[in-house]
Structure 1
Amino acid sequence: MSTIRVAVVGCGAIAQRRHIPEYAGNPNVTLVAFVDPLLERAQKIADPFGAEAFASYQDMLAKIKPDAVSVCTPNYLHAEVSIAAANAGAHVLVEKPMASTDEEAAAMIEAASKNGVHLMVGHNQRLMPPHVKAKAILKSGVLGRVLTFRTSFGHPGPEAWSVDGRDSWFFRKPEAIMGAMGDLGVHKSDLIRYLLDDEVAQVTGFIGTLDKQDTDIDDNATCILRMKSGAIGTLVASWTYYKGEDNSTVLWCENGVMKIGTDPKDQIIVELRNGTVEKYNVGAISTNEKQETSGVIDAFVESIATNAKPAISGEEGRKSLAVILAAFESQATGKVINL
């Protein structure tokens, strides 16, 4: 197959730690351009690849005409850049949350459809081996119906993760739009939809800024979800887990419980009511401290190569975003939000 020419827009932490190394490791990809408002940052990354550096994505799209674009910008630019790339005829992989509003998400899906290009959202949790295995176990029926659940993603915050540390856009509301919920919560709304093969019907959200100083961006959220199946559970996102990152999910089912990511060695533990315990060591869940290959880039490249709609499509990203937006609406109104 002919090589896919890829441009990366936004050269911060997610681009440097996931997108760029994973593209570089894919034999079907040539990295041709890097865009960052800090031109020196883009240039430094572009040089080893013999790629071009730009301060403006508009200039890059006009000159390079890439086959595909990774959108790794602050949240408020996701829709704008994705739509421009699609209109330039490029396939788009956008980081999560895919957009700031449902209207933006719809416009992105429309732009991709109109231009005959793929739109994929970087929801890497559903590609992590423990989650793939957990879904297979649920599908086997051994646990019966999922009755209740909790899914959680917490770490100390973007200070140590972002290339700009405490001065990161993550803490500036006009650029981030949402904090821990957009960063971590949307991963979990996507994961629970994927694992349960079910949609969220109702959301109640308690969201606030509890400990981060000099910012009005949310650093904690606890949400109650009711699924269409009737299953009830909690979704937690936190930037104040200062001692111990948590990226675990527990599902209490008719016939037992499945614990995912609760044990450092056995990523999945299934405890059945009949007394049997099954442990699965199937590869780790990625953490900030220990990056695993996400699988997102390879899946994106594969969808372009085979001209198949990405599994983590714009439509999927939009549904996962809707849960988060409903949680904010619940916090603002004090009401249960029906989806």
Structure 2
Amino acid sequence: MSKVRVAVIGCGSISKHRHIPEYVSNENVELVAFVDPVIERAQGYAEQHGGKAFADYETMLAEIKPDAVSVCTPNATHAEISIAAAKAGAHVLVEKPMASTDEEAAAMIEAAASNGVKLMVGHNQRFIPAHVKAKQILKSGVLGKVLTFRTSFGHPGPDGWSIDGAGSWFFRKNEAIMGAMGDLGVHKSDLIRWLLDDEAAEVAAFIATLDKPGDVDDNASVLVRMKGGSIGTLVASWTYYKGEDNSTVLWCEKGVMKIGTDPEDQVIVELRNGTVEKHKVGAISTNEKQLASGVIDAYIDAIVNDTTPEVTGEEGRKSLAVILSAFESQASGKFVEVK
């Protein structure tokens, strides 16, 4: 079969570390275009991998007519680019958060549906081996019901990770819309929904800018009540200056499961009867140590086999809703129902 012709829109750090290398290593992909307003970045990748460089996505869509795109641009542009790509007949993989508002997310889902293309959101936490293992263990019933949880994602911030350092779009609200919550918090709202197979019902949040320059949040602590009754906390931070934390702990009826709390044993199950099980399932990717995310392979599989993507637009929308509700709670000082 012919290869999937893919264009990468936005050539920053997420493209550099994840999307581009993972497309290159997928035998079903031909990279046909790279788009970035800093044209030299796009040209560098085109020289390296073939394809053509563009400064704007409209010209690229009209000229190249790709089969599929990755949208790796600042958050504020996710919706408009994804919708334009869908209308041009291209499948869309969009980075998280998929949109800035619920209305945008709904419009993206509608555009994909009415143009007969697939829409997938890059929620890579679902593909991390430790999380896949944790979900299997939960489903087995050995721990019983999840009663309470803590899920956290913190690192020293995009000034160390982004291709533009401290001058990154991540710190400008008109481009980023939200800070640590859009960067990290939405990963965890997606993870907890997926792990527990449950939806968030209500949130209460403190969201603040404590230490970073710029006008976006760098820290958030969110109380979450799930529809199934579990309660817990979701934490996002750009000020974990002494190292990354991407861990989740689930306290259940029959014991506790610790995910990503130990560098050697990524999943630890401690049962009330004294049994301890430790699972070495592969490290969790960090900014310093990039591992294949699994997102690109899942996206291409869905296109090649004409199946539903593993993280649909609807799923991305629900995970975004949790974060938007948290901002509403911070603004109002009240508990907010997740719509």
Same fold flag (TM > 0.5): yes
Q: CA deviation at 1:50?
A: 2.0
SS of the aligned residue for 1:160 comes to helix
Q: Show the counterpart of 1:140.
A: 140
Distance 2:140 2:41 in 1: 48
1:138-178 Cα offsets, whole Å, 9 max, x none, are 00000000000000000000011000000000000000000
1:29-71 Cα offsets, whole Å, 9 max, x none, are 0000000001111111111222100001000000000000000
Verify: 1:247 aligned to 2:246, yes or no.
yes
SS of the aligned residue for 2:160 comes to coil
Moved over 4 A (4+): none
Q: Show the counterpart of 2:269.
A: 270
| Aligned pairs (5 A) from 1:204-223 | 204-213=204-213, 215-223=214-222
Q: Show the counterpart of 1:260.
A: 259
Distance 1:50 1:224 in 2: 47
| Aligned pairs (5 A) from 1:10-159 | 10-159=10-159
Q: Show the counterpart of 1:228.
A: 227
Equivalent residue letter for 2:67: D
Q: CA deviation at 1:186?
A: 0.2
| Aligned pairs (5 A) from 1:271-286 | 271-286=270-285
Q: Show the counterpart of 2:307.
A: 308
1:222-246 Cα offsets, whole Å, 9 max, x none, are 0000000110000000000000210
Distance 2:50 2:11 in 1: 16
Distance 2:131 2:40 in 1: 38
Distance 1:293 1:100 in 2: 27
| Aligned pairs (5 A) from 1:294-333 | 294-333=293-332
Equivalent residue letter for 1:320: S
Distance 1:185 1:49 in 2: 33
Distance 1:33 1:326 in 2: 37
Distance 1:46 1:171 in 2: 28
Q: Show the counterpart of 1:175.
A: 175
1:177-208 Cα offsets, whole Å, 9 max, x none, are 00000000000000000000000000111000
Q: Show the counterpart of 2:192.
A: 192
Q: TM-score, normalised by structure 2?
A: 0.99
Q: CA deviation at 1:327?
A: 0.2
Distance 1:195 1:161 in 2: 27
Equivalent residue letter for 1:237: A
* Contiguous gaps of at least 5 residues in structure 2: none
Equivalent residue letter for 2:170: F
Q: CA deviation at 1:285?
A: 1.1
Distance 1:258 1:334 in 2: 32
Please give the root-mean-square deviation of Cα atoms over the aligned residues, in Å.
Answer: 0.5
Distance 2:310 2:9 in 1: 22
Equivalent residue letter for 1:8: V
Equivalent residue letter for 2:335: V
Equivalent residue letter for 2:90: A
Distance 1:251 1:45 in 2: 42
SS of the aligned residue for 2:251 comes to strand
Distance 1:319 1:50 in 2: 37
Q: CA deviation at 1:74?
A: 0.3
Equivalent residue letter for 1:43: Q
Distance 1:52 1:249 in 2: 42
Distance 2:310 2:238 in 1: 29
* Contiguous gaps of at least 5 residues in structure 1: none
Distance 2:249 2:97 in 1: 23
Q: CA deviation at 1:2?
A: 1.4
Distance 1:140 1:2 in 2: 40
1:109-157 Cα offsets, whole Å, 9 max, x none, are 0000000000000000001100000000000000000000000000000
Q: TM-score, normalised by structure 1?
A: 0.99
Distance 1:135 1:59 in 2: 43
Identity of aligned residues (%): 76
SS of the aligned residue for 2:159 comes to coil
Equivalent residue letter for 1:67: D
Q: What is the total number of aligned residue pairs between the two structures?
A: 338
Q: Show the counterpart of 2:7.
A: 7
